[in-house]
Amino acid sequence: MDLRTFFARFIFILAVLITVSATDAAEGVGTVRIGLTPTIPNDQYRVIEEWRLYMERELERPVEFVWRNSYIETMDLLRVNKLDYAWICDYPFVYFKGQVKLLAVPLYQGRPYYQSYLIVPATDDQTTSIDQLRGKMFAYADPYSNTGYLTPRYLLAQSGEDPDHFFSKTFFTFSHRKVMEAVALGAAQGGAVSSHVWDTLLKTTPELAQGTRVVSKSPEYGFPPLVARPSVSETEFRTMQKLLLKMMASEEGQSLLRRLNIDGFIAGEPSLYDRVDQMMQVVGKK
């Protein structure tokens, strides 16, 4: 981590700590705070609000969703106890191993897995692999995204390439949707995104997804999990886990799940993320 990034993180955490008392007073005791990240397409505000109200009724407590544009901001909030739970990516779950507890894993197409899609503009009908993007502009999602950052770098490293010098230029959009927008508009000649986000936007915003072409799909990874901060009590942890797992059993829960483009939740096991751990050993941590 460079000095500039260190000080930016330090200032962010300090600001959070300074406002603890004021925030608690404003939000009220007993509010359940859940962090949301670019794991979710950033145009699903209506269903997210309905999910929040559903949770409030089930828990009989106020629920607040806290959106952040980067995974590291959400992880920092978890670590200073400003969030109780969060829906994060599999990469930060492995990277910060031991600093969060696995709460639940979504089921996608009936299974707890997803993939990384390598995409190019729809007008590019020649590219068939990442090797053909040498010297091109490439869009990454987030420095702590598996499908939007770690996977393409791992593919290059496996081919004997240096991920830091393979492309002419790279940039972060801090959103899988924005990676798709950058590629569709030609601001980047390639990008990597979550299969769940791409597939979801193909349903909800087909004109955006159809502006890109999926070149290749990665092996399967454990789906981005929901996690809890370690200090959440066992009772509260089990209550929240039960709420998520039983969503499949009610008509309202099933409706919300369909609109989130997932099938339900399972408790899951950390071993689902072993492949990501192995990739990190090759590419190296940030």
Per-residue model confidence as pLDDT tens digits over 65-88? 999 989 999 999 999 999 999 999
- How far apart CA 149 and CA 71 sit, in angstroms, is 12
Q: SS3 for 93?
A: helix
Q: How many residues are there in the chain? A: 286
The residue-averaged pLDDT of 34-44 equals 81
Structural domain count of the chain: 2
- Is residue 43 very low, low, confident or very high in pLDDT (cuts 50, 70, 90)? low
> Do 202 and 236 fall within a single domain?
no
> Which of 218, 238, 273 corresponds to the end of one domain?
218
> Which of 218, 243, 268 corresponds to the end of one domain?
218
| Nearest one of 192, 200, 225, 42 to 109, comparing CA atoms | 200
CATH number, position 42: 3.40.190.10
Q: What is the pLDDT of residues 1-38, one digit of tens each?
A: 565 555 556 555 555 444 443 344 333 348 999 999 88
- How far apart CA 51 and CA 36 sit, in angstroms, is 12
Q: What is the pLDDT of residues 257-282, one digit of tens each?
A: 999 999 999 999 999 999 999 999 99
Which positions ≥6 away from 14 have C-beta within 8 Å? none
Range of 276's domain?
3-112+222-283
The residue-averaged pLDDT of 91-106 equals 94
> Do 36 and 63 fall within a single domain?
yes
Exposed (0-12), middle (13-18) or buried (19+): which is 283, by Cβ within 10 Å? middle
- Is residue 97 very low, low, confident or very high in pLDDT (cuts 50, 70, 90)? confident
- How far apart CA 36 and CA 70 sit, in angstroms, is 9
